[in-house]
Amino acid sequence: MRYIGEEVDINPLFDDVNIIWIKREDWTSGNKLMSNPAMWIEFKGHIYFCICKLYHFQFLEEFSDWDNFDEHNPGYLEFLHIMKLKPSFYKLDYGGVMASDLDDWCKFELDFIKNWWREKQINNVLE
C-alpha cells in the first residue's frame, strides 16, 4: 500500500467530518489484485484516509452493488456503512506524501491534498 501517514486511533462521528471522497483502493499483493472500500475525510482540521482492510471487494463487485449506497453523493448512510466495516485511519503526512512516488496518486487526490495544505498554511498565518 502507498504511504499516506501514520495509523491513528480515532472514532469520528458523521456530524464532525467532511467526506471528501469514497473510493475503491486497489493494490497488489504478490500476483493478486486487491480492492478495499476507502474514504477520505476531513476531521478536526486534518485529512484522514480510512481503509476497510477487513473487507475485500469480490470480482466485479462495486459500491453500486450495495443497497442504498451512493458513493458519488455520500451522506450519513454511506458514512455509517463504511464505519461498520471497521476502517483503519491514517492521518495525512503532507511532506511524506509529496516526497513519495506521486505516480501512486491520482490527480484528484493530489489536488484536494494540495488545496487543503494551502488553506491550512493560510489559516495558520492568519491565526
Whether residue 74 contacts residue 19, with contact meaning beta carbons closer than 8 Å, is answered with: yes
pLDDT surpasses 80 at 1: no
Which residues, other chains included, contact 112 with Cβ-Cβ below 8 Å and sequence gap of 6+? 20, 21, 40
Mean of the pLDDT values across residues 102-122? 93
The helix (run of H) or strand (run of E) holding residue 47 is strand 46-51
Q: What residues contact 14, with CB distance under 8 A and at least 6 apart?
A: 76, 79, 80
pLDDT in tens, 14-45: 999 999 999 999 887 788 888 999 999 999 99
Q: pTM (2 decimals)?
A: 0.90
Whether 38 and 50 have beta carbons less than 8 Å apart is answered as: yes
pLDDT in tens, 65-102: 999 999 999 999 999 999 999 999 999 999 999 999 89
User: What is the grid cell recorded at 42?
Assistant: 476531513
What is residue 122's predicted lDDT score, i.e. its pLDDT?
93
Alpha-carbon dihedral angle through residues 88, 40, 52, 94, given to the nearest 10 degrees:
-50
Check residue 27 and give its pLDDT.
83
Would you state the pLDDT for residue 34? 86
pLDDT at 2: 82
Q: Give 74's contacts (C-beta < 8 A, 6+ positions apart).
A: 19, 22, 39
pLDDT at 124: 87
Q: What residues are paired with 41 via a beta bridge?
A: 19, 48
